[in-house]
């Protein structure tokens, strides 16, 4: 199976640019005959860039092996041990604890207050780490997922100000703003805000799993739904259902 992906490009200055990391989730649908399964089943993954860029960059593959049944995963790198030792900062972010990932047991994804509290925690953490780190880019995208969950009518209606050090950037928030603009010109009454919030919740779980050592709430169902494109959020002025209260 071959897939062509177009990564987001970050413009650094007039001469330089960089390609942003991409999360690729590979699933294996169906069941296999047990007698054909061995303890170590090799899966080969090849990543390449267009020929004109090969002298400037080389893809680095990070693989997380998920045991969904046991809610555990381990980290394997496409780099050699020598390369790990020479570039420990690259892997350090996987070891640093991110306390807000430990959601309260009573956390309710239908509660805007719970989402608002979480967004403040993420914002407070985000402005304390280097903006060129892997964690910062991940945290920025996670913040916008949470912020929109707390304020699903954004950029319309009422919403709190956020720290100006957190830019309005990232694939999710860009898509959200584009869909909101389209909704203003093509209103509809067929979209359910609750289903939109549920999809964002699934995407949040998938996002959190990147840095969580125990993604116990990441299920196969949520993983599949997280891969689906977010439905167009049409008619942002629609009255929200009770679960948003």
| DSSP assigned state of 141 | H
The count of other CB atoms within 10 Å of the CB of residue 222 is: 19
The pLDDT of residue 39 is above 90: no
Q: Which of 170-174, 179-183, 198-202, 227-231 has the lowest mean pLDDT?
A: 227-231
Comparing CA positions, the residue from 226, 231, 191 lying closest to residue 205 is: 226
186-225: pLDDT as tens digits:
555 445 677 788 888 888 887 877 665 444 444 444 444 4
DSSP string, 199-217: HHHHHHHHHHTTT-S--TT
| Global confidence as pTM | 0.52
Region 39-58: mean pLDDT is 87
Split at pLDDT 50, 70, 90, the class of 131 is confident
Domain ranges of the chain: 9-244
Tokens of 209: 């799993």
Nearest to 73 by CA among 199, 204, 223, 224: 223
For the chain, the residue count is 245
Cβ neighbourhood burial of 76 (10 Å; 0-12, 13-18, 19+)? exposed
Residue pair 160/177 in contact (Cβ under 8 Å)? The answer is no
For residue 50, what are the CA distances in angstroms to 2, 3, 7, 142? 15, 14, 12, 30
Residue 148 scores a pLDDT above 90? yes
Backbone dihedral region for residue 157 (phi beyond 0: left; psi -120 to 50: alpha; all else: beta): left
Of residues 206 and 169, the one with the higher pLDDT is 169
Reading the block at residue 13, the tokens are 């200055």
Instruction: Show Cβ contacts of residue 222 under 8 Å, excluding neighbours closer than 6 positions.
Output: 201, 202, 205, 206
What pLDDT was estimated at residue 29? 78
Measured distance CA(153)–CA(181) in Å, rounded:
12
Q: Looking at the predicted structure, is the pLDDT value of residue 136 above 60?
A: yes
With a pLDDT cut of 70, the percent of the chain lying above it is 65
pLDDT of 130 above 60: yes
What pLDDT, in 10s, does the model give residues 49-68? 999 988 988 888 776 665 54
* pLDDT tops 70 at residue 16: yes
Share of the chain above pLDDT 90, in %: 12
Distance CA 113, CA 236 (A): 19
């Amino acid at each position: 199976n071959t897939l062509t992906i177009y990564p987001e490009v970050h413009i650094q200055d007039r001469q330089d640019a960089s390609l942003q990391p991409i999360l690729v989730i590979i699933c294996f649908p169906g069941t296999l005959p047990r007698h054909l399964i061995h303890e170590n089943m090799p899966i080969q993954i090849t990543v390449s860039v267009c020929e004109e860029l090969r002298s400037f960059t080389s893809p680095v593959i990070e693989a997380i092996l998920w045991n969904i049944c046991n809610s555990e995963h381990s980290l394997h790198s496409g780099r050699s041990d020598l390369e790990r030792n020479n570039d420990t900062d690259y892997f350090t972010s996987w070891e640093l604890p991110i306390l807000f990932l430990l959601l309260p047991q009573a956390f309710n994804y239908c509660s805007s207050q719970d989402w608002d509290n979480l967004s403040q925690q993420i914002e407070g953490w985000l402005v304390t780490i280097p903006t060129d780190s892997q964690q910062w880019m991940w945290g920025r995208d996670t913040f916008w997922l949470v912020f929109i969950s707390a304020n699903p009518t954004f950029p319309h209606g009422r919403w709190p100000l956020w720290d100006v050090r957190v830019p309005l950037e990232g694939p999710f928030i860009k898509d959200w703003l584009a869909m909101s603009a389209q909704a203003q010109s093509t209103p509809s009454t067929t979209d359910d805000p609750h289903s939109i919030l549920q999809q964002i919740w699934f995407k949040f779980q998938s996002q959190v799993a990147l840095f969580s050592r125990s993604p116990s709430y990441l299920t196969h169902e949520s993983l599949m739904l997280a891969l689906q494109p977010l439905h167009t959020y049409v008619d942002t002025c629609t009255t929200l259902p009770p679960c948003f209260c």
